[in-house]
Amino acid sequence: MDLNFSDQERAFQSEVQTFLAENLPDDIAAKVRLGDGLTKDMMDLWHSILNAKGWLATTWPKAFGGPGWTPVQKHIFEEECCRAYAPRIVPFGLNMLGPVLQKFGTAEQQESILPRILSGEDWWCQGYSEPGAGSDLASLKTRAIREGDAYIINGQKTWTTLGQHANKIFCLVRTSSEGKPQEGISFVLVDLDTPGIEMRPIRLIEGGHEVNEVFFTDVRVPVSNLVGEENKGWTIAKFLLSHERTGIAGVGFSMQALEEVKVLAHTIRRGAKRLIDDPLFAARLAKVEIDLEAMKITNLRMLFQAQKQGAPGPETSMLKIKGTVINQELRDLARRALGPLAAPFPGHVTDGNILFGPADTAFNAARYFNNRKTSIFGGSNEIQRNILTKTMLEL
């Protein structure tokens, strides 16, 4: 057993570190660190910087313009990005639709769509969940009825992340009500400029806007926008969800949060003492650090397994559950550490960092509330437990 990266991997790691030090714009890293939302321009800029280096589509094989990395390289890249406070890559086109088209798309779809994802000409968003189809995604009701060479789509999608920036959406739609619910679903690409589409913002618990509802009324989409076969969309959906699960432990983000909380605990004072001198707070922090240390190894063990087997197994559900719980615990500590200083509404804190507490803390309570989403989205932690129950318990 050897817990160290190979020489080659270490060389790659320092290459990534150098690249980030030289190319990640300071103002973007500062905003990521603060936990404030990035503008579309900032996200586009970061994507274009990575694309110029050939490091944007980390999950794509070389043939399609990806770097052709091993899972370990991908892991190193993600961890270094977190350490440097680089923005998360917006995953919908790059990590979701890209791999789907590479596996299920026609040559024409691959040629016309993939380059536009890399260049940033197209911003894709996801039309999966519906008000009545969340955990039970297969019960989705948005209908696509075939009329000549077009589908006519009617229905509603929700939780469409960053849809406000998108010009395209990939959707799961019902093309048949025969058989099991899973058997009548198709995967369709839709241009958001098509008449009959309305996108409405959803305001989140902390006041921010990242998700949307999308309404479809008699939206006419060419049949050539179907990906894979009609009524076989569920296979694609499952494939895509397994891609959504890579990096799901969010170890890098938790390492960021741990460092932030450590700094806070050493900076914040409770009278004559530092917060870290309070044994109760120190115990909370030490416990979660222990959990994270174990999680890092669990993550690497599963990564190693995936590298050998070629695909992540159901154990990744454990990464999702434990990874989100650790991250949420750290966000709880970051809020808790501030005491009453965490209370101001971030939007009201104009002179925030100087007036209300240590630097970079204006969004700590907001981030705690916003991060409650992580145990709900991408297959809730309850659904992950169901997956584990079904595959591991052998009842």
Partner 1 sequence: MDFNLTEDRRMVLDTLSRYLKDQYPVEHRIKVAYDAPFHDPSKWSELAELGLFSALAKESVGGFGGTGFDIAVIFEALGKALNCEPVLPLVMASRLLGSAGLDQQALLEGGHSYAVAISEPDAPYELTDISCTATSDHRLNGRKSTIYGGQTAQTFLVAAKAGSTVNLYQVDANDAEVISYGLIDGGGAAEVLLDDTQAELIVENAAHALSDAMNAGIVALCAEAVGLMTVSYEMTADYLRQRKQFGRPIGSFQALQHRAVDMLTEIEQARSITIKAAAELDGKQASRYASMAKNLIGRASRLVAEEAIQLHGGIAMTWEYPVSHFAKRLIMLDHQLGDADHHLSKVMDDLASV
Q: Which of 92, 225, 281, 318 binds partner 1 (CB under 8 A)?
A: 281
Active site residue 230: no
User: Closest CB to partner 1 among 259 and 277?
Assistant: 277
Q: Which of 120, 134, 222, 378 binds partner 1 (CB under 8 A)?
A: 134
Q: How far apart are CA 315 and CA 221, in angstroms?
A: 38
Burial class (CB within 10 angstroms; exposed 0-12, middle 13-18, buried 19+) of 210: middle
Q: How many residues does the chain have?
A: 395
Q: How far apart are CA 208 and CA 198, in angstroms?
A: 20
Closest among 197, 194, 185, 170 to 105, alpha carbons compared: 170
266 binds partner 1 (CB under 8 A): no
- DSSP 8-state symbol, 377: S
Q: Tell me the closest approach of the beta carbon of residue 386 to partner 1, in angstroms.
A: 8
Q: Tell me the closest approach of the beta carbon of residue 339 to partner 1, in angstroms.
A: 4
Q: How far apart are CA 197 and CA 167, in angstroms?
A: 11
User: Is 218 strand, coil or helix?
Assistant: strand
Q: Kind and range of the H or E element at 253? A: helix 251-267
267 binds partner 1 (CB under 8 A): no
200 binds partner 1 (CB under 8 A): no
User: Closest CB to partner 1 among 52 and 355?
Assistant: 355
Q: Tell me the closest approach of the beta carbon of residue 388 to partner 1, in angstroms.
A: 12
Q: Tell me the closest approach of the beta carbon of residue 387 to partner 1, in angstroms.
A: 13
Question: Which listed range, 82-90, 227-235, 238-246, 328-336, lies at the site for partner 1 (CB under 8 A)?
Answer: 328-336
Q: Kind and range of the H or E element at 175? A: none
206 binds partner 1 (CB under 8 A): yes
277 binds partner 1 (CB under 8 A): no
Angstrom distances, CA of residue 372 to CA of 126, 332, 376: 20, 10, 7
What is the CB neighbour count within 10 angstroms for residue 384? Answer: 23
User: Closest CB to partner 1 among 121 and 382?
Assistant: 382
Residues in contact with partner 1 by the rule CB under 8 A: 129, 132-136, 139, 158-159, 202-207, 268-272, 278, 280-281, 284, 332, 335-336, 338-346, 348-349, 355-357, 365-366, 368-369, 372-373, 375-377, 380-382, 385
Task: Supply the residues annotated as catalytic.
Answer: 244
